[in-house]
Structure 1
Amino acid sequence: MFSFWSRIWVPLLLMLTVCRGETVKTKVLVLGAGMAGISAARSLNQSGLTDFVILESAGRVGGRLWKVQFGGKTIDIGGNWIHGISDDNPVWAMVKSYNMTGTVTNWDNIKVRNGSGQDVTPQWHAVLASLDEPTEAAYDLAVERNATGQPDMPLRAALKLGGWNPGSSMEKAVEYANYDWNYGEEPDVSTLLRGELDPTYELFGEEEYFLTDPRGYVYIIEQMAESFLAGNDQRLKLNKTVTTIRWGDDGVTVTTKDGSTYTADFAVVTFSMGVLQSNAVEFVPGLPDWKREAISRVRMALYTTIYLKFPSKFWDDDEYIVYVGDRRGYYTVWQNMEAEGLFPAGTNIILVTLIGEEARRVEAQSDEATQAEIMAVLRVMYGPGIPDPGDILVPRWEQDPLFRGSFANWGVGIDDEVLRKLQAPVAGRLFFAGDGTGVHYGYLQGAFFEGARVAGAIGTCLRGGPCEEGYQPPRRGCTCPAADNFDRQATVDNGSCQYPTSGAGRIWRFSVSSYILVVAAFAFNDMV
């Protein structure tokens, strides 16, 4: 009798234990083990704050740095480039220290073919040169508007003001390769100020390095994690999908899909902007309006790199190949993975990138349908006799619930006030960091810096220094010290300053409109 019941109850008790998960209390919870999360945890550890737990939904570290095996090679289907080859760039410093293989991108090494397969590279360079002046005009306009405090505008509008209004297929292809392919979105939705005055290029330079290292780009994050996490370190918990984040003045409690509960004084949320915007994670109570509004302002670009493995190479030897077809952004930019500095000859792998709506459309269809579209384009360029590929790899970043997109892109109008909202903690307990919360948005070093930033803020607070309490709206008032109603705490002048008139003891309410009236009166007297 005992044996019979034990055979029933013991498995039930074990199942109950598994469903309930574990209960853990710590000082700091780090949610996500991508670059921002590992950077935050490493910074905490380096400062002596070792009481933290990292929760990661996937079974690996790295986030959107993801290596896979394809065609006999290690392929990075997420990040590929180091943007800014400078020792001041921490990402490049790590890549260089590990002697990771790759090549400096060379856009001059290019072949351009039209819808008939003809070589039209000379025409490409002529149209590209015609874009120089509008590009310089857009930059000058960005400098002027930034210096004079004028609002942001779409990059498209600035290019039009500079005389650029693409109409031909070649002009559209040139624009696509220079803007869409870099930003991950069209100029219509890209920011002039943040895009043209990009601090990443200002600080780290414009050179880019394309990685082909067999260890994968993710190797740098793996090495960062290994520098402070011992083997089987219980502070790193993989396959933990966060479902609920409860926050308040006394701390944060996180629940995961397996029923586990984690409680901490502080939490660092490093989910992508796409995940935050998808409402896949429930915040209790809901995030304040100022935080939700700031998150909703950040765009999540979709950048899909499609790899094809062929039995033999038939394409051009140049590093880049551009297809100028009738449809803008339709399999336009290709990369020859056998170009100098990339994979060796005989690899027979080519890469084509789609962005935005074209990428979204391809994510929704079968790989067979995508391969058929690609082969139709390749046969236009190289003839009907080329072979079919032996394999194709199509990432689906937007459909993946762990990412919901490729990288963050700031849209038009994200000013310093929105940045303050993105970076401010909620209730002084819930911090946010990632590639969308800082000025180096969309770049890997941006996520690195943001993780370190929030770790520094939490560490300062725990060591008895000032604690960040959360976003405080700008205080409007009189900012002029000479005024009777000068407000020392005001950060934005609202035109309310009051000054005593000479000898009368009356108050003059000064504002911009008052100034205009005075100037107009003097001008009228001069005329008469």
Structure 2
Amino acid sequence: MDSPHRSSVIIIGAGVSGLSAAKRLIENGVEDVVILEASDRIGGRIRKQEFGGVSVELGAGWIVGVGGEQLNPVWELAEKTNLRTCLSDYSNARFNIYDRSGNLIPSGVAADSYKKAVDSAIEELRKLEADGGDVSKVTEPPSTQKTPIELAIDFTLHDFEMAEVEPIATYKDFGGQEFLVADERGYEHLLYKMADDFLFTCEEKILDSRLSLNKKWKTEAIEKLDVMVYTKIFLKFPRKFWPCGPGKEFFIYAHERRGYYTFWQHMENAYPGSNILVVTLTNGESKRVEAQCDEETVKEAMGVLRDIFGPNIPEATDILVPRWWNNRFQRGSYSNYPIISNHRVVRDIKAPVGCIFFTGEHTSEKYSGYVHGAYLTGIDTANALLEEMGRQEERSSENKTSLSKPELALTSSLNLTQKDAVSNLKCDVPTQLYLGSKQPKLY
């Protein structure tokens, strides 16, 4: 290794946004870039794992927004790398709702309940807009005085379908189709291909550095940003016992407790013969299940499946429970702004603090919560860095001095709810973090 020096740009976090920012900077001639990653891999909340003989996605699993006038940049990467995907059609899920006795809710009843839920949500949005978008009046959907089918649809509409103010910018700009990644190489393959020309992994020491901020306006903005916990539980079975075929990929369980093993998907479209079911939990249920042993989770999930399909179904042979909430580098799955969000909050989340720049899906005003949001904000932040570096070079030429401090880009979602948050952040990064190589390195 060359003697240590002070790099022009330090990027903290090797997720989608960090890597796209690094790529953009290097393409524009900024060679002395350092990427600091706390874990032993790239990808952030994109992560695959082998389960039941196939590769499943623990975090981001879909490419959302395909088929529109604009080309989704993540879909463009997928096409270039021949990433295997399959179309997900949610439109029939609302007609595959089972009660606790295993009876399929009549399609007319389900359609009527769904329409009422949508109308109610729209009415609530109108009320909030009439009140000037006061986000303090945004509350969790009520979990009382509703029937099991209403609770199931409420969960599906608000938690699974990711409630946003219509029209959803992602669908409007990029198209309404969603494709499930079903490739043994994983979603992360896109990142490795993107980084091939400028990034390599190093088997040396992995640095785990936590940063917090002492700017009140910045910390206030971060405290207003909620992080969604979204848990996909994978169950492997010796054989199929659920309906397959057109319109049967997704089914819903109606229970008295909102979000209790509500939304199910079989993996036969993605991996034929895999005999895998996936059930999605969110927020409180996610945290509850993360805290308990997998044996208890299997017991609960099997109870639900026996309610739906009867007592003679086979026992699950394996289970995989991602624990994003308990992952100290993530503490959740994706940003979750209020339905009507104060644009000032988003701008404050993204705004730089001195020489520190921020990027990530949580800094995207239009595409927060999506992989393409992370990708595009990485490019935007890199462009902002390039502009600032150009201004500093002009000032340096005038003053005949060089840059005194490195630029720093934070790419991870920030959560200041932990008691051990550090109050002081300094721009001076310890000299041992600077690398002499002209190629950026991942630590």
SS of residue matched to 1:215? coil
Give the aligned partner of residue 263 of structure 2.
333
Match of 1:130 among 116, 126, 131: 116
Q: Which residue type is aligned with residue 98 of structure 1?
A: T
- Give the partner amino acid of 2:207: T
Residue 171 of structure 2 corresponds to residue 201 of structure 1? yes
Residue 290 of structure 1 aligns with which residue? 217
Distance 1:37 1:377 in 2: 40
Counterparts in 2 of 1:17-416, with a 5 A limit? Answer: 25-85=6-66, 86=68, 87-110=70-93, 111-122=96-107, 123-137=109-123, 150-152=133-135, 167-183=146-162, 195-196=165-166, 198-229=168-199, 231=200, 240-243=206-209, 281-283=210-212, 286-317=213-244, 318-339=248-269, 342-344=270-272, 346-411=273-338, 414-416=341-343
- 1:57–1:239 CA contact under 8 A, matched in 2: no
Q: Tell me the distance in 1 between the aligned counterparts of 2:111 and 2:204.
A: 49
Aligned residue type for 1:329: G
Q: For 1:69, what is the secondary structure of its paired residue?
A: strand
- 2:39/2:208 contact within 8 Å kept: no
TM-superposition CA deviations, 1:120-168 (whole Å, max 9, x none) = 14232232233343345456667x65xx9654465669x99xxxx9721
Residue identity opposite 1:323 in structure 2: Y
Letter in 1 for 2:227: M
Is this contact kept in 1: 2:165–2:339, CA < 8 A? no
User: Would the aligned equivalents of 1:78 and 1:406 in 2 still touch at CA under 8 Å?
Assistant: yes
Q: Mark the CA change 1:154 to 1:226 in structure 2 (over 3 Å): closer, same or farther.
A: farther
Secondary structure of 1:175's aligned partner: helix
Deviation, 1:424, is 1.3
- Is the CA contact 1:139–1:197 (under 8 Å) kept in the aligned structure 2? no
Q: Secondary structure at the residue paired with 2:308? A: helix
Q: What is the TM-score when the length of structure 1 is the normalising length? A: 0.67
- Cα drift, residue 101 of structure 1: 2.1
Aligned residues: 385
In 2: Cα distance, 1:201 partner to 1:435 partner: 16
Q: Distance in 2 between the 1:417 and 1:239 partners?
A: 39
SS at match of 1:371: helix
CA contact (8 A) 1:367 1:394 kept: yes
Amino acid at match of 1:113: Y
In terms of mean alpha carbon deviation, does 69-78 or 130-139 score higher? 130-139
Paired amino acid for 1:434: G
Q: Distance in 1 between matches of 2:259 and 2:187?
A: 27
Alignment-derived partner of residue 431 in structure 2: none
Distance 1:136 1:313, change over 3 A: same
The AA in structure 1 aligned to 2:110 is W
Matched letter for residue 200 of structure 1: T
Looking at structure 2, the residues matched to 152 and 242 of structure 1 have their Cα atoms a distance apart, in angstroms, of 35
Question: In the TM superposition, what is the alpha-carbon distance from 1:66 to its structure 2 partner?
Answer: 0.4
CA distance in 1, matches of 2:204, 2:363: 24
The amino acid that maps onto 1:432 is: F
In structure 2, C-alpha distance between the alignment counterparts of 1:238 and 1:140, rounded to whole Å = 55
8 A Cα contact 1:105 1:210, kept in partner: yes
Distance 1:337 1:155 in 2: 35
The aligned counterpart of 2:403 is none
Query: Mind listing any 5+ residue stretches in structure 2 that lack a counterpart?
Result: 396-406, 408-443
Q: Does 1:438 align with 2:364?
A: yes
CA distance in 2, matches of 1:92, 1:51: 30
Give, in whole Å, the separation in 2 of the partners of 1:99 and 1:166.
49
Q: Could you say what secondary structure the match of 2:97 adopts?
A: strand
CA contact (8 A) 1:153 1:413 kept: no
TM-superposed deviation, 1:282: 4.0
Matched to 1:241, the amino acid is: L
Q: Relative to 1, partners in 2 of residues 1:178 and 1:322: Cα closer, same or farther, differing over 3 Å?
A: same
Tell me, in whole angstroms, the C-alpha distance in 2 between the residues paired with 1:413 and 1:82.
Answer: 25
1:140–1:203 Cα change, 3 Å: farther
- Give, as a single letter, the amino acid of the residue that structure 2 aligns with 1:103: C
Identity fraction in percent: 35
Q: Indicate yes or no: 2:388 matched with 1:461.
A: yes
Q: Which protein shows a greater Rg?
A: 1
**Alignment-mate amino acid for residue 361 of structure 2:** D
Q: Which amino acid aligns with 1:325?
A: H
Which letter does structure 1 place at the counterpart of 2:284?
E
C-alpha distance in 1, partners of 2:198/2:346? 31
CA 1:125–1:412 in 2, change beyond 3 Å: closer, same or farther?
A: closer
- CA distance in 2 between counterparts of 1:435 and 1:455 reads 14
Alignment correspondent of 2:399: none
User: More relative contact order in 1 or in 2 (CA 8 Å, sep 6+)?
Assistant: 2
- State the one-letter code of the partner of 1:215: R
The answer to whether the Cα contact below 8 Å between 1:311 and 1:390 also exists between their aligned partners in 2 is yes
Residue deviations 1:13-65 (CA, integer Å, cap 9, x gap): xxxxxxxxx95531111111000110110010111111101111121111110
